[in-house]
Structure 1
């Protein structure tokens, strides 16, 4: 649970607290964001029902041992289970094909995966929103577009064809293909007050995309103190290119066609072929190999110890 965030009804300027339920897939790191009104049991049940209605029933569910979940578990027993028969939340979940696990109390490091997602989303969300308050509909729309941004990050390439530049993303496991946020960068100059609020939501989406995509690429390009020679950039490596002003959910991918080593033999510049067959020259500090492209025997081609899909930051 991330929050609080502040929303209002639209008819009243009074702002109220709300929260965001974050669901993370342990296999492909796909994200699902749900706006909930509070930390009560009924709000949690509503968010969970909306999640499984759109994404399907999970085989296993892991959650922290916060007081809100412990209280929800206690209330769920009263609401959904027959005490006389001694049924528990685990019994019902098992009967429905779901195993529910809770991490030990006072051990947030056991839930590092979702804690990382909360940290990433909350950090950029707070920087972006500051004191702004949206309506419930506007906030829900914004969260859905943020979800599309998070699920658009490339995991690896789809094909070994050298002419194919379509990456595999978490969205492929959700909807069978990439997600796209409508490009609304050319805003109208004359708009009514109702359209103005929705354009503001799109601006927030673009702002979140700029902040998060830059942070995500930086996390894949971390370079620690060198103690031995890394492996140079190699021809044929598929890379993401750090490029400003890209539209939300759009990533610039290319394949290294030529390397330009210096006098010491180290590659610091490479020529990259883009999807439209154009060639661009970039420094290796602007190139990032896809997260799971490295093998166990190799450090990544750009000289930094890259991450695999299990360790990549959301």
Structure 2
């Protein structure tokens, strides 16, 4: 199965996970059955290497209920849309497509998902790469590349596609980064000391601007619509539609 080959590549790069969660796609269900057959034929040492001592627990969401894995489904959908729009009708070689996919993967896994226990004003944040790599993320050098549309300049061609993906995905994914917490469902007001991410369509590829709310401006209905945010580079005034709360001032209820 092709998916088994993809899974083996993932394990080779990232290590063996304890749990895999997916929908009930036929390729995933078939992969689970084939994995079970493969594991039966392994000795103890091979089993430890393949399944990281305890094996892989594969969880499937309920059929016809994609909302049960809503966050992942939304992220995958946004990536597919942005990549399709970036490539358009252009033709890439398998090698060029692989380069695009690897760079896109790195960009997606650099998105902020929480804060680090550092100075809240230094702009640092926790991202999936920190956990996948076990260390701080590194940004892939972006150039300098020639500004050219010559199809023979394939390195620049691939980088233009990655740039186009970033601009489209950065715009569309912004609302998806709102943490799925109770305070968000209740439409909690933005508060002083909230750690937020600022929307910036002109930001450098792979960079996200985080800051701390230092002042809020309530309207006549006591709803906050504008805030002042302190970042590592300065203080900015923004409407709440241009910020996303990454970490609320009071913390999360289930925080360890």
Alignment TM-score, normalising by the size of structure 1: 0.63
- Unaligned 5+ segments in structure 1 are 1-40, 83-89, 223-228, 298-307, 310-314
* 1:280 aligned to which of 236, 239, 244: 236
Are the counterparts in 1 of residues 191 and 249 from structure 2 also a CA contact under 8 Å? no
1:182 pairs with 2:141: yes
RMSD: 3.6
Work out the CA distance in 1 between the residues paired with 2:128 and 2:166: 17
Residues 1:135 and 2:135 aligned together? no
Instruction: Tell whether the 8 Å contact from 1:239 to 1:255 is kept in structure 2 after alignment.
Output: yes
1:259-311 deviation digits (Å, cap 9, x = unpaired)? 334455443222222203x22222222122106766568xxxxxxxxxx99xx
Deviations 1:222-277 (A, max 9, x none): 9xxxxxx955432222211111111221001112222334455443222222203x
Paired residue for 1:126? 84
Q: For 1:69 and 1:259, locate their aligned partners in 2 and report how far apart those are by CA, in whole Å.
A: 48
- For residue 254 of structure 1, the aligned residue among 208, 211, 217 is 211
**What residue is the counterpart of 1:47 in the other structure?**
6
Greater Rg over alpha carbons, structure = 1
Instruction: Give the drift of 1:94.
Output: 6.7
SS at match of 1:159: coil
Aligned pairs for 1:1-314 (under 5 A) are: 41=1, 43-72=2-31, 81=40, 97-101=54-58, 103=60, 106-107=63-64, 109=66, 112=70, 114-175=72-133, 176-184=135-143, 187-189=145-147, 194=152, 196-220=153-177, 231-276=188-233, 278-290=234-246, 295=251
Answer yes or no: is the 8 Å Cα contact 2:193–2:249 preserved in 1: no
| TM-score calculated relative to the size of structure 2 | 0.76
Which residue is 1:32 aligned to? none
Matched residue SS, 2:13:
helix
Tell me the distance in 2 between the aligned counterparts of 1:152 and 1:274.
Answer: 18
Residues 68 and 256 from structure 1, CA distance in 2 versus in 1: closer, same or farther, beyond 3 angstroms? closer
Q: Tell me by how many angstroms 1:119 deviates.
A: 2.0
Q: How many residues align?
A: 241
Cα offset for 1:117? Answer: 3.9
Contact 1:128–1:208 (CA under 8 A) maintained in structure 2: yes
Unaligned runs of 5+ in 2: 42-46, 180-185
